[in-house]
Amino acid sequence: MRSRDWAPWLVALGAGVAVGWWWGRRSDSDAALDGDLDDGWVERWGDRVDTAVEMAGEGLRLMDRRLRGASLLSDRSLADALSGVEGAETLRAHALGPGVIDLTGEADDPVAQAARAALEALPGVEVVLNRIWTPSSADPGLN
Protein backbone atom coordinates (compact mmCIF):
# COMPACT_ATOMS: atom_id res chain seq x y z
CA MET A 1 0.00 0.00 0.00
CA ARG A 2 1.49 3.31 -1.09
CA SER A 3 1.41 6.39 1.11
CA ARG A 4 -1.13 8.08 -1.17
CA ASP A 5 -3.48 5.09 -0.74
CA TRP A 6 -4.00 5.59 2.99
CA ALA A 7 -5.00 9.27 2.78
CA PRO A 8 -8.61 8.49 1.74
CA TRP A 9 -8.89 6.09 4.69
CA LEU A 10 -7.90 8.85 7.09
CA VAL A 11 -10.35 11.28 5.48
CA ALA A 12 -13.14 8.70 5.74
CA LEU A 13 -12.24 7.98 9.36
CA GLY A 14 -12.31 11.71 10.19
CA ALA A 15 -15.65 12.12 8.42
CA GLY A 16 -17.05 9.15 10.32
CA VAL A 17 -15.93 10.59 13.64
CA ALA A 18 -17.43 13.99 12.76
CA VAL A 19 -20.76 12.46 11.74
CA GLY A 20 -20.79 10.31 14.88
CA TRP A 21 -20.10 13.35 17.03
CA TRP A 22 -22.82 15.37 15.27
CA TRP A 23 -25.31 12.50 15.48
CA GLY A 24 -24.51 12.01 19.14
CA ARG A 25 -25.17 15.68 19.85
CA ARG A 26 -28.72 15.31 18.58
CA SER A 27 -31.17 14.77 21.38
CA ASP A 28 -34.32 12.73 21.42
CA SER A 29 -37.48 14.12 23.00
CA ASP A 30 -37.24 12.02 26.19
CA ALA A 31 -33.67 13.02 26.94
CA ALA A 32 -34.46 16.67 26.21
CA LEU A 33 -37.37 16.62 28.66
CA ASP A 34 -35.27 15.02 31.39
CA GLY A 35 -32.43 17.45 30.79
CA ASP A 36 -29.97 14.54 30.77
CA LEU A 37 -28.55 14.43 27.24
CA ASP A 38 -25.36 12.52 28.08
CA ASP A 39 -27.05 9.44 29.56
CA GLY A 40 -29.53 9.26 26.67
CA TRP A 41 -26.71 9.45 24.18
CA VAL A 42 -24.73 6.70 25.89
CA GLU A 43 -27.75 4.41 26.09
CA ARG A 44 -28.57 4.92 22.41
CA TRP A 45 -25.16 5.10 20.81
CA GLY A 46 -22.54 3.91 23.28
CA ASP A 47 -22.23 0.35 21.95
CA ARG A 48 -22.30 1.52 18.35
CA VAL A 49 -19.56 4.06 18.95
CA ASP A 50 -17.45 1.44 20.74
CA THR A 51 -17.90 -0.91 17.79
CA ALA A 52 -17.02 1.83 15.29
CA VAL A 53 -13.88 2.76 17.22
CA GLU A 54 -12.81 -0.90 17.40
CA MET A 55 -13.37 -1.35 13.66
CA ALA A 56 -11.43 1.83 12.87
CA GLY A 57 -8.64 0.63 15.14
CA GLU A 58 -8.49 -2.72 13.33
CA GLY A 59 -8.31 -0.92 9.99
CA LEU A 60 -5.51 1.32 11.20
CA ARG A 61 -3.59 -1.67 12.59
CA LEU A 62 -3.95 -3.47 9.25
CA MET A 63 -2.74 -0.38 7.39
CA ASP A 64 0.19 -0.07 9.81
CA ARG A 65 1.18 -3.71 9.20
CA ARG A 66 1.04 -3.19 5.43
CA LEU A 67 3.12 -0.02 5.59
CA ARG A 68 5.65 -1.61 7.92
CA GLY A 69 5.82 -4.66 5.66
CA ALA A 70 6.69 -2.43 2.72
CA SER A 71 9.29 -0.53 4.73
CA LEU A 72 11.12 -3.75 5.69
CA LEU A 73 12.68 -3.77 2.24
CA SER A 74 15.32 -1.17 2.98
CA ASP A 75 18.82 -1.59 1.57
CA ARG A 76 20.07 -2.25 5.10
CA SER A 77 17.64 -5.13 5.70
CA LEU A 78 18.56 -6.60 2.31
CA ALA A 79 22.27 -6.38 3.14
CA ASP A 80 21.58 -8.09 6.47
CA ALA A 81 19.80 -10.93 4.67
CA LEU A 82 22.73 -11.36 2.28
CA SER A 83 25.28 -11.29 5.10
CA GLY A 84 23.84 -14.59 6.34
CA VAL A 85 24.82 -16.31 3.08
CA GLU A 86 28.38 -17.67 2.99
CA GLY A 87 30.27 -16.35 -0.07
CA ALA A 88 27.78 -13.59 -0.91
CA GLU A 89 30.19 -10.73 -0.17
CA THR A 90 30.28 -9.69 -3.84
CA LEU A 91 26.49 -9.56 -4.17
CA ARG A 92 24.35 -6.45 -3.77
CA ALA A 93 20.59 -6.13 -3.39
CA HIS A 94 18.48 -3.01 -3.91
CA ALA A 95 14.75 -2.43 -3.54
CA LEU A 96 13.28 -1.30 -6.87
CA GLY A 97 9.78 -0.83 -5.51
CA PRO A 98 7.28 -2.40 -3.15
CA GLY A 99 8.19 -6.08 -3.05
CA VAL A 100 10.67 -5.97 -5.97
CA ILE A 101 14.36 -6.67 -5.30
CA ASP A 102 17.30 -6.32 -7.73
CA LEU A 103 20.09 -8.79 -6.95
CA THR A 104 23.41 -8.11 -8.73
CA GLY A 105 27.02 -9.24 -8.53
CA GLU A 106 29.16 -12.30 -9.26
CA ALA A 107 29.05 -15.61 -7.40
CA ASP A 108 29.02 -19.38 -7.85
CA ASP A 109 25.73 -21.10 -8.65
CA PRO A 110 25.04 -22.45 -5.12
CA VAL A 111 25.79 -19.06 -3.56
CA ALA A 112 23.52 -17.31 -6.07
CA GLN A 113 20.69 -19.73 -5.34
CA ALA A 114 21.15 -19.37 -1.57
CA ALA A 115 21.21 -15.56 -1.83
CA ARG A 116 18.05 -15.53 -3.94
CA ALA A 117 16.33 -17.87 -1.46
CA ALA A 118 17.39 -15.68 1.49
CA LEU A 119 15.89 -12.58 -0.15
CA GLU A 120 12.70 -14.39 -1.21
CA ALA A 121 12.19 -15.42 2.43
CA LEU A 122 11.97 -11.79 3.59
CA PRO A 123 8.45 -10.56 4.41
CA GLY A 124 7.03 -8.33 1.71
CA VAL A 125 9.27 -9.64 -1.10
CA GLU A 126 7.29 -10.62 -4.17
CA VAL A 127 9.90 -10.66 -6.96
CA VAL A 128 13.70 -11.05 -6.94
CA LEU A 129 15.27 -9.85 -10.19
CA ASN A 130 18.34 -12.09 -10.46
CA ARG A 131 21.20 -10.40 -12.35
CA ILE A 132 24.06 -12.41 -10.85
CA TRP A 133 26.94 -13.46 -13.08
CA THR A 134 27.76 -17.12 -12.41
CA PRO A 135 30.20 -19.52 -14.11
CA SER A 136 27.22 -21.05 -15.94
CA SER A 137 26.10 -17.62 -17.19
CA ALA A 138 28.51 -17.87 -20.14
CA ASP A 139 26.67 -20.99 -21.34
CA PRO A 140 22.96 -20.79 -20.47
CA GLY A 141 22.51 -24.42 -21.56
CA LEU A 142 24.33 -25.61 -18.41
CA ASN A 143 21.49 -24.52 -16.10
- In this prediction the pTM is 0.47
HEC sequence for the chain: CCHHHHHHHHHHHHHHHHHHHHHHHCCCHHHHHHCCHHHHHHHHHHHHHHHHHHHHHHHHHHHHHHHHHHHCCCHHHHHHHHHCCCCCCCCEEEEEECCEEEEEEECCHHHHHHHHHHHHCCCCCCEEEEEEECHHHHCHHHC
pLDDT digits (tens, 9 = 90+) for 16-37: 888 887 777 665 544 555 555 5
pLDDT digits (tens, 9 = 90+) for 130-140: 888 888 877 66
